């Protein structure tokens, strides 16, 4: 490990499946140490995790970083969005956290939309029409199904808030992650009293929203992490906003992220408000906006299909089959109770063709929202930035190129969420915009794959099957 040129910072990505930590040289962006530890997610109808596992995983990831973590001058936590963390009077979890991909609150989402003015009113107030991923719907579900847990709750946090609070002892969040709750108003950039009153949530139970560039706190004395007391703690943010920082994203540059969930987003100067609910009008982590569309089924769904077929994930063949891989319900399109659907199976259909159909179905959902995410005046010739766990897969790259008709750039930097968090921490030390820090680190550099002719035939076929099957997919909804 070469000697660092500047102070060291730590960036953390606490995601659905694991927590990763990077120790980064603030001057150069060089990663000087890293660590990672897993956590578990329940299976079945719900998706839950014990927040204490996130803390244990953070401790283990930092332990793997060795002395470099202890030398860090600042730290920031990027984390999975939307999760509902309920804490008691001792700061201990009342129950496991309800995660972003837990769709049991679909009935509550529909009711809240209706009871508080309809989709247009929600979009104007909060920037988004809440689906079952949004935290407000999970709180409503909890109040209905586990009122004793609600009565025991003294503080409500998001996943990144929980870890930040354990570092500093103070309840804080940021505008990027708060904008995914459903109870933060994008117009006023404050908690929405009407929404909170409607769902019976006391604003005093929520964390303070720290502004971009503000110090959230310092590492306290009574903790078991390898940080020095007084180490600066940045506001942190949600994972997509952190990745946008990690790319040094400028307005109009589109991003397609291939992970457990799939997302498309871009930074915008304009506050978004989509009454259809396709685009979530999130805030970003440095004062602008991050219109975003998300699918629940991306790399895990395609990998599951590959496993069922006994194939390597790259063993695809050209196909005319349609597979909608909605294995966990779906968010885009909004079909929370749907399951996967296969159409066009023939005697001569091969396993490789079925696997390619799964890729096509997953990418179709994301690209369908891309034009809605981008501002009307965005330059459509700008390459599509492909990130996330699937971005380096040949089958993913070629499917995105073929179905988008756009040039595709694959950044060489890995762990962009943790890098974005590290850039935010570095910004506390240098006074820079974290996105400018990431651009200085050249994190978006990577090969550009030329555009190919868009495969309109496949796009139209999938859209037709989706339209024809809509009654069946909607009828699958389970109103638990």
Catalytic sites, residue numbers: 239
Write down how long the chain is.
480
Q: Are 85 and 51 in contact (CB under 8 A)?
A: yes
> Do β-strands 232-233 and 217-218 pair in parallel, antiparallel, or remain unpaired?
antiparallel
185: CB partners within 8 A, 6+ apart: 125, 126, 191, 192, 195
Q: Are 101 and 159 in contact (CB under 8 A)?
A: no
Which residue's entry shows tokens 């971009």? Answer: 212
Can you name the residues that pair with 268 across neighbouring β-strands? 289
3-state SS class at 426 = helix
Nearest residue to 395 via CA among 280, 291, 305: 305
3-state SS class at 203 = helix
64: CB partners within 8 A, 6+ apart: 21, 33, 34, 35, 36, 37
Which residue's entry shows tokens 């399951």? Answer: 339
3-state SS class at 48 = strand
CA angle 241, 243, 246 (to 5 degrees): 115
SS3 content of the chain, % helix, strand, coil (to 5): 35, 20, 45
* DSSP conformational letter for 38: E
């Amino acid at each position: 490990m070469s000697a660092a040129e500047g102070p060291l910072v730590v960036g953390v990505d606490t995601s659905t499946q694991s927590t990763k930590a990077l120790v980064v040289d603030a001057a150069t962006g060089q990663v000087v140490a890293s660590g990672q530890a897993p956590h578990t997610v329940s299976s079945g109808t719900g998706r839950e995790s014990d927040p204490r596992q996130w803390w244990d995983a953070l401790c283990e990831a930092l332990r793997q970083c060795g002395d470099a973590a202890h030398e860090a001058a600042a730290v920031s936590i990027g984390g999975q969005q939307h999760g509902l963390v309920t804490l008691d009077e001792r700061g201990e979890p009342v129950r496991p956290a309800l995660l972003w991909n837990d769709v049991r609150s679909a009935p509550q989402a529909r009711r809240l939309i209706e009871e508080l003015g309809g989709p247009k009113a929600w979009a104007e107030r909060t920037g988004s029409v809440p689906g079952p991923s949004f935290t407000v719907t999970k709180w409503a579900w909890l109040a209905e199904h586990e009122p004793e847990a609600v009565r025991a709750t003294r503080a409500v946090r998001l996943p990144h808030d929980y870890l930040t609070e354990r570092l500093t002892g103070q309840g804080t969040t940021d505008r990027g992650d708060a904008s995914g709750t459903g109870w933060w108003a994008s117009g006023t950039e404050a908690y929405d009293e009407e929404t909170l009153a409607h769902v019976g949530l006391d604003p005093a139970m929520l964390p303070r929203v720290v502004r971009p560039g503000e110090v959230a706190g310092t590492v306290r004395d009574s903790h078991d992490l390898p940080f020095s007391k007084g180490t600066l703690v940045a506001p942190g943010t949600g994972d997509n906003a952190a990745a946008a920082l990690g790319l040094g994203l400028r307005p109009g540059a589109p991003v397609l992220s291939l992970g457990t969930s799939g997302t498309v987003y871009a930074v915008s100067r304009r506050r978004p408000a989509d009454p259809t609910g396709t685009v979530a009008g999130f805030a970003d982590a440095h004062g602008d906006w991050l219109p975003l569309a998300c699918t629940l089924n991306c790399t895990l769904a395609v990998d599951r299909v590959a496993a069922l077929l006994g194939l390597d994930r790259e063993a695809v063949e050209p196909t005319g089959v349609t597979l909608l891989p909605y294995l966990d319900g779906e968010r885009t399109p909004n079909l929370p109770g749907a399951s996967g659907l296969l159409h066009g199976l023939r005697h001569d259909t091969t396993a490789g063709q079925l696997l390619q159909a799964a890729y096509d179905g997953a990418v179709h959902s994301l690209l369908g929202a891309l034009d809605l995410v981008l501002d009307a005046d965005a330059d459509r010739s700008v390459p599509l930035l492909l990130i996330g766990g699937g971005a380096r897969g040949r089958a993913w790259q070629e499917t995105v190129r073929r179905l988008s008709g756009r040039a595709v750039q694959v950044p060489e930097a890995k762990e962009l969420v943790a890098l974005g968090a590290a850039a935010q921490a570095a910004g506390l030390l240098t006074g820079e915009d974290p996105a400018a820090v990431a651009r200085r680190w050249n994190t978006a550099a990577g090969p550009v794959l030329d555009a190919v002719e868009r495969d309109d035939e496949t796009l139209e076929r999938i859209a037709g099957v989706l339209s024809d099957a809509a009654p069946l997919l909607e009828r699958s909804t389970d109103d638990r």
